[in-house]
Amino acid sequence: MIVKSLLENDMYKFTMWQAMLHKNPGAMAKYKFLCRSTPEYPLSQLADDLNKELDHLCSLSFQKDELDYLRSLQLFSSDFIAFLAIFRFQRDFIRVAVDKDALMIDAEGPQIHIMGFEIFCLYIVSELYFRRFDQEALLQESRNRLQRKIGLVRDHQFNRKHPFEFFDFGLRRRWSGLWQDEVVRTLKAELPEYFKGTSNVYLAKKYGLTPIGTMAHEYLQSYQASSCNLRDFQKNALADWLKEFNGSLATALTDTISMDAFLNDLDRALAVSYEGLRHDSSCPFEWGEKGLAHYAKLNIDANTKRLVFSDGLDFPLALELYEHFADRIKTGFGIGTHLTNDAGIKPLNIVMKLMSLNGRPVAKLSDAPGKTLCEDDVYVAYLKQVFNYAA
């Protein structure tokens, strides 16, 4: 089976999980799977195997050494660890169906019981999909390309004010779990000066690396349906996050309702308290300049802050961004698919997003309008009006 451990989830999912357990433990939610690209064969063919994998996932529980590891990070509360100790996914909360050639996955139930399905579903679907291609050819091409990437970093002349640091963000769309394991092991051995961690908590534990991850879009979106005033949902979510983790994990995601709307909500108190900002859509250069201008407007020394880039990055772009910004602000680069699914066959562009909470719709209006996913057009129009969103 593909899933080896419940710990093999994204770090941001664990942080979001604790935050929602404390903020709104009784919330009922709906998540929906979507493939945004055209696969080389119909994903509907994966349905039977996916159902077997989900049966297996729902038989797993956290082991003592895994809970001890999470506890050792000193980020998670004792009640959250106790919750994980008795947690098990419920099969009745997730449904797989086929609509012609399309694969349909819907998770519906208590948010704290279904939110964890997202990452598992994505990497299970991706690995099942790629199992139908020549595995040896995929592995050889992946290894060749990884070595070229390592060479590119080694050959680069780093002479900016702040260091170059990158992380593995490739769990969701990897073509193979064994390949991601090899990527992380190889980068730790060959680029220890620059490779600073992985979002895969299982591999972080296995290789003694820092598990990387803070908040996700679904955290901010959840506040659209649970915050008293929709206009203030971002401010409320950002303030609560600081309280939840006592100022740790303080990198703010900026594109739930566009960078401009986010900066309107990022007052000086929040900007001082947050270590930095994470980019996930739009031109990264324009986004970074907006962030720098905002820090200057607030009279904050940008050299004390960090810009984290994570939108479809490859190494050439990461190095270009580093050269552009690293004399003015600290940077970090979360590289995902380019590390774990760069084997000569087009990766699947798959997501599984929060659609509603307690019967109320939620949406993301990022700086890339094509990423908007919501089943309620009236709500999207209202959200745009509230935040003066013009894209």
pLDDT band at 369 (very low <50, low <70, confident <90, very high): low
Average pLDDT, the chain: 96
pLDDT band at 365 (very low <50, low <70, confident <90, very high): confident
Structure tokens given for 382: 């209202």
Q: Which residues contact 133 (CB under 8 A, 6 or more apart)?
A: 345
pLDDT band at 121 (very low <50, low <70, confident <90, very high): very high
- Tell me the pLDDT tens digit for each residue of 21-62: 999 999 999 999 999 999 999 999 999 999 999 999 999 999
pLDDT band at 389 (very low <50, low <70, confident <90, very high): confident
pTM, 2 dp: 0.96
Q: Which of 383, 344, 389, 358 is nearest to 138 (CA)?
A: 344
Per-residue pLDDT at 226: 84
pLDDT band at 372 (very low <50, low <70, confident <90, very high): confident
Contact (Cβ atoms closer than 8 angstroms) between residue 215 and residue 241: yes
Phi, psi of 153 (to 5 degrees): -70, -45
Q: Which of 252, 172, 267 is nearest to 220 (CA)?
A: 252
Per-residue pLDDT at 391: 65
Query: How large is the average pLDDT for residues 66-77?
Result: 98
Q: Which of 6, 12, 27 is nearest to 217 (CA)?
A: 12
Structure tokens given for 308: 């984290």
Q: Which of 226, 228, 210 is nearest to 218 (CA)?
A: 226
H or E segment and range at residue 324: helix 315-325
Which residues on neighbouring strands pair with residue 102, listed in sequence order?
99
d(CA 328, CA 109): 46
